[in-house]
Structure 1
Amino acid sequence: MDATHGSREHHDGECRDDGDGLAFVPGPIGPDGLRQIDAYWRAANYLSVGQIYLMANPLLREPLKPEHVKPRLLGHWGTTPGLNFIYAHLNRVIRERDLDMIAVWGPGHGAPGLVANAYLEGTYAETYPDVAHDLDGMARLFRQFSFPGGIPSHASPELPGSIHEGGELGYSLAHAFGAALDNPGLTVACVVGDGEAETGPLAAAWHGNKFLDPRSDGTVLPILHLNGYKIANPTVLARIPREELRSLLVGYGYEPTFVEGDEPAIMHQAMAAALDAAFDAITEIRIRARRGEAGRPRWPLVVLRSPKGWTGPGSVDGKPVEGTWRSHQVPVAAVRENPEHRAILERWMRSYRPEELFTPDGSLVPDLAALPPRGPRRLSANPHANAHRGAPLRLPELRRLAVTVPERGRTKAEATRALGVYLRDVLTLNAEARNFRIMGPDETASNRLDAVFEVTSRAWQEEILPEDDHLGRDGRVMEVLSEHLCEGWLEGYVLTGRHGLFATYEAFAHVIDSMVNQHAKWLKSARDLPWRRPVPSLNILLSSHVWRQDHNGFSHQDPGFIDFVANKRGDTARIYLPPDANCLLCVMDHCLRTYDRINVVVAGKQPALQWLDMDAAARHCAAGVGIWDWASNEGEAEPDVVMACAGDVPTQETLAAVDWLRRYVPELKVRVVNVVDLMTLPARETHPHGLDDPTFDSLFTRDRPVMFAYHGYPWLIHRMTYKRTNHGNFHVHGFIEEGTTTTPFDMCVLNRLDRYHLAQAALRAVPGLGARGEHAEEALRDALAAHRVHVCRAGDDLPEVKDWSWPDRHGDEHPDRRRIEADIMQCDTAGAEEPRPARTADDRACNA
């Protein structure tokens, strides 16, 4: 598609003055339409400047005085006039083509313009009746912006029509593609700022066009807004040669149209022509898709190059402002105290000729009020931007999918493989509604969720080769090696009312920390707005976790995403650590039913012992934490020690430790407490799931030692329980940054989460065990020594570790210690080399 330029030499016909300072240039918009759209743009610009600067005298009925100006000037002008320009032109195509459209505004600092347009469209007054279309309402509109008790300076949830928090750059295009998935009638206009275009997440997001099916998905129209500068530096895409930029965008798979210049009349016609061409191309793409023509379409893209701070002051204090980085935030800074600056501001605001735009009572003049689309066609009132929902999510019957557990701790299963079967049925039940997707890196099969490929494929619009695995144009699984892109797609999907799951390796979840943080803040703010509908929860599954990285190393061992999420507000964050497959099914079923939450579920994919049948799992998960009486031997008395656990591997090691203690020290009274909902641990005033103190004490006691085996970093448990009566007796074992590529059990040993260290800690915490306790500790030391010998020599875990299962009865004879002693003797005589010093106190000592 040929580029369109906003300068006179690229248009046919002579320019003429139409009497109000706006030259007419032939193009898609007639003379009257040109005057109207320009006046509407001026009205939006006027309201935008007023929000940044004024707290009174909204229509400048009197000369500007210091008391009319806000004491603290906060806001960003530089990108705003370009966004207002785009908004006016999107309104035109919506109205003329009856488009169902929402917009994602990447330059969130342009919120003055977005608020102004919502006000002009009438949506703002409908949402906030005290901000009416009169002088008082306009004064409130101005005063509230970036003002205590008012609204933020970004496109926040308080803004009708917004699904994107503009406080952090880089995620707009991913959100836009997520919103378009499974919305065949929806167009998502996404304005990408040239500053955010420099971020990694945005660079990856251009590839969203490779996953968009023109038959069943909506349309994303990217509008790259080049205004040349960031805060103080030029932007890369605005400075590279134009043909290089065009080649880059073509290489991404788009057909770009350029709109460039600074003269309003020419730019209006150029933008109108570019949008008309874009939507003509989109119509043709959809026609070809309905005909069944193969091949990925080349979607249109518009590049708008306009001056930063367009229509603002040309210079201030002798320094150029319009078209430079100086217009980024507040172009005229000392307005209250400097009369010259105040005069500049007044001239600037009067240059928009507000007397032509607003009636004496402060409302928009009738011919401009008639310009925006009506009802839900308004960008600020489209229901898709407020969790518009179709059919509810249908979920399968859990008991039909339950993993059979004939004997606790004696049957093995892969938890996430069972979850894959559940998700397969979720996809099947919602196939017609098309309201559920799975996003993640190239790990759906690796994480044992591959049962979903029985009913769907991976979404893919490129060439498909015979040897490719489960690729298809209509796939419900979205895989790309960018956690940013996957999470952004899911955010856009759930914020527009649909449901989904993001699954990734645990160690890589930190990539999306800041995205999840922004979403958490969005949910918090949206929850305080009665007009915002609840949105389906952001569900995150972390697998391939820290305790099973058999072929990966130290880089893949980081359970800290839990710590990050635990810092979020209690009414938003949920963290689940199911101990087995049936608990994982119960937890995920619950998470998919929730709204306005960030649910993090951590579950391993390796074969592991199963503990609870479905009925017991449902009760346990509903409670979130509970005593496992079948594993405890305290009877009616208080326990000597509480063995607590959270996570699948910690649970197995805890129960193995309990088994060992009951064999060696049968008189020791042990209570087993399993935690599946981590947020039951903090106090009730901290988190709504927190147990009250009496309930917490009834589980963990008020004065007995608690050995807590935890999946992640130990200090999180201490932080969560520090207010509890018995906190001083909590001894937490978890990941302490030890281990690399090694055996599963050795990872536990190196971090002191293994059964032997847990049993040893329990023995040391209970006084008065005497000689039996001393002999038991000696046996534990022997067992650890045997482990070191065996794993170093054999490269695998000991058979009694690998093959351990929960006994069907206790009181059997002690394990054969003669074999342990023989292993130690064999290691001592295995080689003639000098032993190498251990890297850590618990590192393998064998020198074989």
Structure 2
Amino acid sequence: MAGTATPAADAAALANSLWRAVCYVSVCQLHLRDNVLVRRPLSAEDVKEQPSGHWGTVPGTAWALSHVVLAAGELDRRVDVVPLLGAGHAGVVQLAAAWVTGELGAVRAEFGPDEGGLRRLARAFPDVDGLGAEVHPALPAGGFLGGRLGGCLPFAQGAALDAPGRVVVPVIGDGECETPTTSASWPAQRTLSHAFVLPLVHVNGFRMGGRSLLGAMNDEELKAYFGGFGWDARIVRITTGSLPEHTTFHTALRDAIESTLDERPTVLVMRCVKGWGGPASLGGRPLVGTPGLHKTPLTAPRTDPEQLTRLAYWLNSYEPTGLFDADGRACGGLAEAVSAARWCFLVPPELPESASRPGAFGARTDTFTEAVTGVVRKHAARGDFLLLSPDELTSNRLPELAGERWVHELLAKEVLLEWLAGWTASGRRGVLVSYEAFAPLLTSALVAYVKQRRLAGARSLPSLNLLLTSYGWHNVHTHGDPSLATSLLALGAPGVRVLTPADPPRTAAVLDEVLDSANGINIVVAGKHSRTAHAPGTIGEELRRGLAVWPPHSDEGEPDLTVVTAGDIPAAVAVEAVGHIRERHGCRVRVVNLLDLTVLGDPVLWPRGLSDQEIDGYFGTHACVLFLTLGHPAAVWGLLAGRLRRPVDVVGWREPAGPLPQRELARVLGMDQAGVVRAVGRLLASREAAR
């Protein structure tokens, strides 16, 4: 680890100034609306009517960030130390640190690093326009979006994977360590080589309202816990925030970075008191080291003299006159610390010289295996590709991919998704291949990703791609659940796409497209059993517009009935049923294959949504419309939202009462030739009844 190391005592002094400033600004945001430098005695008019926000995590998180950015500044520029905040509640710290170091002013000029900028920030909090009060991707340490606990450690692992010269430092709490996703990530590190992750676990003894499991362990038990997973736990106790404690911690951090770069998994544990530095008590009730400091306890300092006194003492305990000059700018040791600090961000690592860009796809696509294997090998050739699967590649008929250096299998799907999110957060591309029925476990994380991508200031990134197969139509009773697609479509988020290729050539074409897309979540639902290849002439239009009329199965002229298929089974059933429909009902039929479900949505919400004119062009001006879909009918109905003012019906997945053979399941759910013919009969009868 080359670089000019600052003597530990000097680094401690700088870290102390930076930590005090970040804590001070955090308290300002929570409570003040004026007199933000406390140049005069604090009055009731200086404070907010209803102070609110989280404090318990602030002192420890501020401590961690202060030391990490200073350690990064000491290192050779070829080594980046990237902090990530795991708790959404740490947003107040992120805003404070970004204001102190000037990063916030660079993003939002009104919050410049002076008294006026701090006053405006304090008045805006917690409703900071466009930034809010939670961790934000536009600011340092905000690559991972909190709000849900458990994902920061595996996200950091994905971001660090195959990124030489990058150490990712996720700052996670002891409460977060109780989540299944974090718990599974500790042993999962064993499967990753060249992933330099240094977790900084903030053990303050509590979750939100109750004592944490890690907080109840002594030091030896903590070392044994992490050691069992292959991590060397270094424990540092912080009680008052003294200079000796800063010195000890900074030395431990430097050593831990060295160990991490030497590929010795190391975790740095901060043992501290929850909310330390805040009011020790209020109204005779102790606060420090209790859940009473999870949020600020001073909720009425404007009307309660005791609370106002406590607040003034709290603010002055950080000695702001030694941190800021008369204009509110950093001075003295704080100015030195700001100059020495270096924020590092997730950026794409340099590709090896042998890497190549994907060219035209020309491999065979007669089967699902050939289609997927050919596409992912093509994209892997450039060196920035990752394929993840929960131990299902062989089951999903992709055995040739297992064992490739860019392929990782692990049963914990939640961990895999965070690996993929961290990987793509540094500008790289990949896909998660899984059974459709188990994908709903990923809903919370994907919703958080949708939220992050829509925030102002979020960087353009490669899309998150999921290839879901082995769905319920061809599986056992417990393995049928298309809820993930239904849930994501219900968000009405423009970055979501649900893609249902009808055959292996279309699977290859759409997968090739999404792997080069950006800023979206692409859910590709494709059958691993399909060998049927439908007419190839419309694939280009399906990719371009999301759907296409299939001429070989459609009558010329205006249809009486349009059958819209979404997926391989619906397409096969429709093609089989068309002749019987004509024979039985004597009507003109059009078959439309739907590749992208979101085109059914209102174009005001969905970027690829069909206009009214396009709806008439594809479905006919007066035709009844029957949708056949692999997923829930509710997903189609929700997208249509009453736009088709004509008889419409949807045949799709409904939860069966119990286990059924596949043919019987298709019959019960109406996804067979006879069921489609009956559904058409009902539709046509409803139109006649309405005339």
Do they superpose with TM above 0.5? yes
In structure 2, distance between residues paired with 1:441 and 1:42 = 45
- Which of 374, 381, 397 is 2:360 aligned to? 397
Residue 54 (structure 2) pairs with residue 76 (structure 1): yes
Deviation at 1:748, TM superposition (A): 1.1
CA distance change for structure 1 residues 247 and 383 in 2, over 3 Å: closer, same or farther?
closer
The whole-number CA distance in structure 2 between the counterparts of 1:659 and 1:132 is 71
How much does 1:573 deviate?
0.8
Q: CA deviation at 1:126?
A: 1.9
Asked whether the equivalents of residues 140 and 345 of structure 2 are also in contact (C-alpha less than 8 Å), the reply is: no
Alignment of 1:374-413 (within 5 A): 378-379=342-343, 382-384=344-346, 394-398=357-361, 400-403=362-365, 413=366
For residues 783-820 of structure 1, the C-alpha deviation after alignment (integer angstroms, 9 at most, x for no partner) is: xxxxxxxxxxxxxxxxxxxxxxxxxxxxxxxxxxxxxx
Tell me if the contact between 2:486 and 2:634 (Cα under 8 Å) persists in the aligned partners: no
Q: Shift of residue 645 of structure 1?
A: 1.2
Tell me: CA distance 1:193–1:592, structure 2 relative to 1, closer, same or farther (3 Å).
same
Match of 2:530 in 1: 607
Asked if the contact 1:121/1:378 (under 8 Å) is kept, the reply is no
Please give the alpha-carbon distance, in whole angstroms, between the structure 1 residues aligned to 2:655 and 2:287.
Answer: 52
Distance 2:445 2:189 in 1: 21
Q: Show structure 1 runs of 4+ deviating over 4 A.
A: 28-33, 387-393, 739-742, 767-770
Equivalent in the alignment of 1:224: 201
- Write the deviation string for residues 87-118 of structure 1: whole angstroms up to 9, x where unpaired: 22213322223341111111331222222222
Does residue 450 (structure 1) correspond to residue 399 (structure 2)? The answer is yes
Deviates further, 702-711 or 574-583 = 702-711
1:391-540 matches, within 5 Å, as 394-398=357-361, 400-403=362-365, 413-427=366-380, 429-430=381-382, 434-453=383-402, 457=403, 475-525=405-455, 528-529=456-457, 532-540=458-466
Q: Show the 5 A alignment for 1:501-580.
A: 501-525=431-455, 528-529=456-457, 532-549=458-475, 553-580=476-503
Alignment match, 1:11: none
Aligned to 1:155: 135
Amino acid at match of 1:313: P
The alpha carbon displacement at 1:699 in A equals 2.1
Question: Which residue is equivalent to 1:117?
Answer: 97
Tell me, in whole angstroms, the C-alpha distance in 2 between the residues paired with 1:425 and 1:185.
Answer: 27
Following TM superposition, by how much is the alpha carbon of 1:493 offset from its aligned partner in structure 2, in angstroms? 0.7
Are residues 57 and 72 of structure 1, via their aligned partners in 2, closer, same or farther at CA, if it must alter by over 3 Å? same
CA contact (8 A) 1:417 1:448 kept: no
Identity %: 31
CA contact (8 A) 2:158 2:421 kept: yes
Given the alignment of the two structures, is residue 747 of structure 1 paired with residue 677 of structure 2, yes or no? no
> Are the equivalent residues in 1 in contact too, given 2:433–2:468 (CA < 8 A)?
yes
Q: Secondary structure at the match of 2:306?
A: helix
How many aligned residue pairs are there? 679
Structure 1 letter corresponding to 2:201: L
Q: Does 1:353 align with 2:276?
A: no
- Give distance in 2, aligned partners of 1:510 and 1:38: 45
Q: CA deviation at 1:745?
A: 2.8
Q: SS state of the match for residue 386, structure 2?
A: strand
Backbone CA RMSD of aligned residues:
2.4
| 1:531-589 C-alpha deviation (Å, 9 max, x unpaired) | x430000011111112111xxx2211111111111023442111111111111122112
Q: TM-score normalised to the size of structure 1?
A: 0.77
Matched, 1:367 2:316: no
Query: Per-residue displacement from partner, 1:324-376 (whole Å, max 9, x unpaired)?
Result: 111111122211221211111011101111001111110001432222466xx
> What amino acid is aligned across from residue 506 of structure 1 in structure 2?
E
Change (3 A) 1:248 1:673: same
Where 1:760 maps in the other structure, the secondary structure is: helix
Is this contact kept in 2: 1:582–1:612, CA < 8 A? no
Deviations 1:648-669 (A, max 9, x none): 111111111113334x448432
* Corresponding position of 1:700: 619
Which residue of structure 1 lines up, in the alignment, with residue 286 of structure 2?
320
Give the 3-state SS of the residue equivalent to 1:680 in structure 2: helix
Residue 622 in 1 paired to residue 588 in 2?
Answer: no
Three-state SS of the structure 2 residue aligned to 1:621 is helix
2:681 to 763, 775, 778: 763
Corresponding residue of 2:3: none
Corresponding residue for residue 643 of structure 1: 563
Structure 1 stretch 711-720 or stretch 141-150: which is displaced more? 141-150
- 1:192 is paired with a residue of what secondary structure? strand
8 Å CA contact 1:104, 1:189 repeated in 2 = yes
**Residues 648-667 of structure 1: pairs in structure 2 closer than 5 A:** 648-662=568-582, 664-665=583-584, 667=586
Residue in 2 aligned with 1:16? none
Q: Which runs of 5+ in 1 are unaligned?
A: 1-27, 287-297, 404-412, 459-474, 771-848
Q: Paired residue for 2:151, among 149, 153, 171? A: 171
Which residue number corresponds to residue 308 of structure 2? Answer: 342
CA distance in structure 2 between the aligned counterparts of 1:768 and 1:499, rounded to whole angstroms: 48
Task: Report if aligned partners of 1:641, 1:705 keep a CA contact under 8 Å in 2.
Answer: yes
| TM-score (structure 2 length as normaliser) | 0.93
Q: What residue is the counterpart of 1:680 in the other structure?
A: 599
Gaps of 5+ in 2: 1-5
**Within-5 A mapping of 1:189-228:** 189-213=169-193, 217-228=194-205
Report which stretch shifted further, 597-606 or 203-212.
203-212
Supply the distance in 1 between the matched residues of 2:356 and 2:615 (Cα, whole angstroms): 35
**Structure 1 residue 492: deviation in Å?**
0.5
1:279 aligns with 2:263: no
Q: CA deviation at 1:153?
A: 2.0
**Conserved in 2, the CA contact under 8 Å of 1:313 and 1:322?**
yes
Compute the displacement of 1:395 (Å). Answer: 2.4
In structure 1, which of residues 329, 333, 338 is the aligned counterpart of residue 295 of structure 2? Answer: 329
- Counterpart amino acid of residue 408 in structure 2: M
Distance 1:123 1:388 in 2: 23
Q: Which residue identity lines up with residue 59 of structure 1 in the other structure? A: L
Looking at structure 2, the residues matched to 582 and 44 of structure 1 have their Cα atoms a distance apart, in angstroms, of 56
Report the residue type matching 1:559 in the other structure. P
Alpha-carbon distance in structure 2 between the residues aligned to 1:182 and 1:724: 48
- Map Cα deviations across residues 587-643 of structure 1 (whole Å, 9 max, x no partner): 112211211101111001003311032x5312222121122121012x23x323222
8 Å CA contact 1:132, 1:138 repeated in 2: yes
2:563 partner amino acid:
M
- Using a 3 Å threshold, how does the CA distance of structure 1 residues 234 and 436 change in structure 2: closer, same or farther? same
Secondary structure of the residue that 2:142 maps to in structure 1?
Answer: coil
Contact 1:389–1:496 at 8 Å: present in 2 too?
A: no
* Contact in 1 for aligned 2:55/2:275 (Cα 8 Å): yes
